[in-house]
Amino acid sequence: MSILIDRDPQPKASPGALDQIVWPVRSWRRCPAVVPPPDGSMIGLMESRRSGRTIGPAPLREVLNAIAFCTRPRFVLENDPYHRTRRLSPSAGAVHAVDVLIVDQCRSVPRIWRYDPLSHSLETLRIAESSAVQRFSILTQELLPDSRPTALVFVGDVHRIEGLYDHAHSLLWRDAGALLQTLALVAAAYRLAFCPLGILGGEVVDALMLDRESALPVGCAAIGRPRSVRTAVRSGGQSEGED
């Protein structure tokens, strides 16, 4: 699917009927209480952030805790069909129409989960096309050959954002970028390794048999525990492979 973005988004005079992705949920469970990261200065956090390319596996509870801290609502608008909320990252219309999927590729049988910030629950999603997950795993391995991370896939809910805006696709890309940056800082606060990936994650959308007209893959990242590697140090103190 190719979408031409050549017009500015415009708020609708009145919101349309709420429509959103129907996720293929196989099971779900409540998540434990979020454990916040240690206190620290914002300047120190931003200066310490790095894109790590040698990442080891992290327990699901650590990955999930970081995602929950980043995306859980701090404020929910009452009696609002669009469930508008205030969170750490900005979002068009406070809709937060980009979902975070967690892809565990370190098992013999891969799993895909979706974290639901409104109910603070983890949904296990039904994989309909396992070969698509394998293609995704090959791509991530080619990008990070010395790593065994958990992959995060950002999926934009097209119909949900189109209920509030005309020409809304660019808003999903903008929101995905804001969410990616916020997750990178949150991962640094928890001392987790994090690396944006130059792929969209369409294979995961295909694995779930979602319609790309409504579920738009808008980016991926890798997260896990940092692994010690020997790196050449450039002048200025930055290691090779970091940005």
pLDDT in tens, 133-142: 999 999 999 9
In terms of residues, how long is the chain?
Answer: 243
* Mean pLDDT of the region 200-218: 96
Rounded CA-CA distance 154/141 in Å is 18
Which residue type sits at 27? S
Tokens for 5, please give them.
């973005």
| C-alpha distance from residue 7 to each of 95, 119, 174, 197 (Å) | 20, 35, 14, 27
- 228 burial (CB, 10 Å; 0-12 / 13-18 / 19+) is exposed
pLDDT for the residue numbered 228: 66
Rounded distance, CA 58 to CA 223, Å?
8
d(CA 52, CA 228): 10
Extended strands (E) in 50-207: 55-56, 75-76, 85-86, 98-104, 111-116, 121-125, 150-157, 165-166, 193-197
Instruction: Grade residue 243 by pLDDT with cuts at 50, 70 and 90.
Output: low
Helix then strand then coil, % of the chain, to nearest 5: 30, 25, 45
For residue 233, pLDDT over 50 is answered with no
CA distance 26 to 144: 30
Per-residue tokens: 44: 């120190």
Q: Angle CA(222)–CA(185)–CA(149) in degrees, nearest 5?
A: 15
**Chain-wide mean pLDDT for the chain?**
90
Residue 2, pLDDT score: 53
CA-based angle 212:183:114, to the nearest 5?
45
Q: State pLDDT tens for residues 61-105.
A: 999 999 999 999 999 999 988 889 999 999 999 999 999 999 987
Is domain 41-226 annotated with CATH 3.30.930.10?
no
Instruction: Tell me the C-alpha distance between 92 and 85, whole Å.
Output: 11
Range 117-131 average pLDDT: 96
Rounded to whole angstroms, how far apart are CA atoms 114 and 28?
A: 9
User: Taking the model in full, what pTM does it have?
Assistant: 0.89
Cβ–Cβ under 8 Å, residues 201 and 220 = yes
pLDDT of 240 above 70:
no
Sketch the domain layout of the chain as residue ranges.
Answer: 41-226
Three-state DSSP state, 109: coil
Contacts of 31 (CB under 8 A, 6+ apart): 64, 68, 115, 120, 121, 122
Q: Which DSSP string do the residues of 175-241 spell out, in sequence order? A: HHHHHHHHHHHHHHHTT-EEEEESS--HHHHHHTT--TTTEEEEEEEEEEEE------B-TTSPBTT
